[in-house]
């Protein structure tokens, strides 16, 4: 049987850090409000020379070094983003070129904040069916470019960054690597979190719009539900999961999800305080932090979950 092993993890954050106090100079907000409602203290904001592609390329180089692998071994690149460098070609192909890879396939996946989960599930399926051997799965975003910097309800929430996994297909016993994935979407909620532009409608990129309360309400229910479902699919108990690496949108959502699952919040990797919500990049970024902090170790059962615009949501269980 083919198993999909997480061979390496890497991430990259823009140089500039923007604190809540910095934001209070731009809009009518305060460190106290942002901290209490979201748990966010700071986020990284990309400079003009830092793009979704450049952050992704750096994250990939670090993930390849971590995996002790060379870019020439990669034959699949899936990049999750809602903020591509260009409408087309896919940023994945731009990353492919920057890494000097000329074999295999590269494409983007768009499922907003759930994008990394959708990309990882897709890569897992392709590796397990023998369509590729070694994959780079990337979440990379520059949401700062699509924020309405006059809207205090949204501009305080998001940040920029990138994270990447190197996946390797290995023959072996079941129970290693990615064990199960569950993906969901429900387009009836598309107007709760969306961008008000696009090439086929306004011919502009547009800006992010969100009904925060509505998203919040659905997030906790959907997260808890899909975590239970993916645990069943993987044949594990939620209680046996060593570490949770959730999408980082809001500390209150993470605490409420942990409570609903009956899991101690200490088992969650938290980066939302330092990174804000980096959309598709937040899970691989948090995974890298979890490794650095020693919260995730080889052999651990790790659960990744996310929810985002669409709505889309999903979860993956892996034996790291
Ligand atoms: O990745 C998935 C996507 N996003 C999410 O998961 C976000 C989910 N939602 C949330 O995290 C929360 O709903 C928010 C953090 C966005 C907002 O928190 P809330 O407790 O739902 O606040 P609210 O939107 O109901 O607003 C409460 C008040 C309003 O004032 P009034 O009408 O009560 O006078 C807002 O105008 O807070 C005001 N407000 C702010 N005040 C200071 C909204 N944003 C700010 C701000 N600073 N930045």
**What CATH number is given to the structural domain containing 105?**
3.40.47.10
| Alpha carbon distance 251, 282 (integer Å) | 13
H-type helices in the chain, by residue range? 20-24, 31-38, 52-67, 91-98, 115-128, 152-155, 212-234, 251-261, 272-275, 282-292
Q: How many structural domains does the chain have?
A: 2
Helix, strand and coil content of the chain, in percent to the nearest 5, comes to 40, 30, 30
Selecting among 60, 222, 247, 275, the annotated active-site residue is: 247
User: Are 23 and 148 in the same domain?
Assistant: yes
Q: Which residues line ligand 1 (CB under 6 A)?
A: 29, 33-34, 37-38, 113, 152-153, 156, 193, 212-213, 215-216, 219, 249-250, 253, 277, 307-308
Cβ atoms within 10 Å of 25's Cβ, excluding its own: 7
Which domain-ending residue is among 171, 202, 222? 171
| Pairing state between β 2-12 and 160-171 | antiparallel
CA 212 to centroid of ligand 1, rounded, Å: 6
How much is the pLDDT for 187? 98
| N residues, the chain | 320
**Could you give the angle at which helices 251-261 and 212-234 cross, rounded to 10 degrees?**
40
User: Are 267 and 218 in the same domain?
Assistant: yes
Reply yes or no on whether 134 is catalytic. Answer: no
How much is the pLDDT for 311? 98
How much is the pLDDT for 108? 99
Measuring from atom 21 of ligand 1, which residue has the nearest CA? Answer: 213
How much is the pLDDT for 249? 96
- pLDDT tens-digit series, residues 15-42: 999 999 999 999 999 999 999 999 999 9
User: Are 158 and 91 in the same domain?
Assistant: yes
The per-residue DSSP string of 271-288 comes to -HHHH-B-GGGHHHHHHH
Which domain-ending residue is among 171, 199, 229? 171
Reply yes or no on whether 275 is catalytic. Answer: no
How much is the pLDDT for 210? 98
User: Are 186 and 109 in the same domain?
Assistant: no
The DSSP secondary-structure symbol of 27 reads: S
User: Are 17 and 156 in the same domain?
Assistant: yes
- Which is the closest atom of ligand 1 to the Cα of 112? 1
User: Are 240 and 299 in the same domain?
Assistant: yes
How much is the pLDDT for 32? 98
How much is the pLDDT for 182? 98
Structure tokens at 7: 């061979």
| Chain Cα centroid distance, residue 247 | 6
How much is the pLDDT for 307? 97
User: Are 229 and 268 in the same domain?
Assistant: yes
User: Are 27 and 93 in the same domain?
Assistant: yes
User: Are 167 and 191 in the same domain?
Assistant: no
Give the residue ranges of the chain where pLDDT is below 70.
none
How much is the pLDDT for 124? 98
Q: Which domain holds residue 238?
A: 180-319
Q: Is there a contact between 174 and 154 (Cβ–Cβ < 8 Å)? A: no
CA 127 to centroid of ligand 1, rounded, Å: 41
Which domain-ending residue is among 145, 171, 197? 171
Quick one: which of 48, 81, 59, 53 has its CA closest to 136? 59
How much is the pLDDT for 146? 98
User: Are 20 and 158 in the same domain?
Assistant: yes
User: Are 147 and 44 in the same domain?
Assistant: yes
How much is the pLDDT for 202? 98
């Amino acid at each position: 049987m083919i198993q999909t092993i997480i061979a390496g993890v890497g991430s990259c954050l823009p140089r500039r850090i923007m604190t809540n106090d910095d934001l209070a100079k731009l809009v009518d907000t305060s460190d106290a409000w942002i901290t209490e409602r979201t748990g966010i203290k700071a986020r990284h904001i990309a400079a003009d020379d830092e793009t979704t592609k450049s952050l992704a390329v750096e994250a990939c180089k670090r993930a390849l070094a971590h995996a002790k692998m060379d870019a020439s071994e990669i034959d699949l690149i899936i990049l999750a983003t809602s903020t591509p460098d260009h409408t087309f070609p896919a940023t994945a192909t731009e990353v492919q070129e920057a890494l000097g890879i000329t074999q295999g396939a590269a494409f983007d996946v768009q499922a907003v904040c759930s994008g990394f989960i959708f990309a990882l599930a897709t890569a897992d399926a392709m590796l397990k069916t023998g369509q590729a051997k070694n994959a780079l799965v990337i979440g990379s975003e520059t949401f700062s470019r699509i924020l309405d910097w006059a809207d205090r309800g949204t501009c305080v929430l998001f940040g920029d960054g990138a994270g990447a996994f190197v996946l390797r297909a290995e023959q072996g016993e079941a129970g290693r690597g990615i064990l199960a994935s569950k993906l969901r979407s429900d387009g009836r909620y598309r107007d709760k979190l969306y961008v008000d532009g696009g090439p086929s409608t306004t011919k502009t990129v547009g800006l992010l719009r969100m009904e925060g309360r509505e998203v919040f309400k659905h997030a906790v229910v959907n997260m808890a539900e899909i975590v239970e479902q993916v645990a069943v699919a993987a044949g594990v108990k939620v209680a046996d999961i060593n570490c949770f690496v959730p999408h980082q949108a809001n500390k209150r959502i993470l605490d409420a999800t942990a409570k609903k699952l009956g899991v101690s919040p200490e088992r969650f990797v938290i980066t939302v305080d330092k990174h804000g919500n980096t959309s598709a990049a937040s899970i691989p970024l948090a995974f890298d932090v979890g490794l650095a902090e020693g919260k995730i170790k080889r052999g651990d059962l790790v659960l990744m979950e996310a929810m985002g615009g669409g709505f889309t949501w999903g979860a993956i269980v892996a034996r790291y």
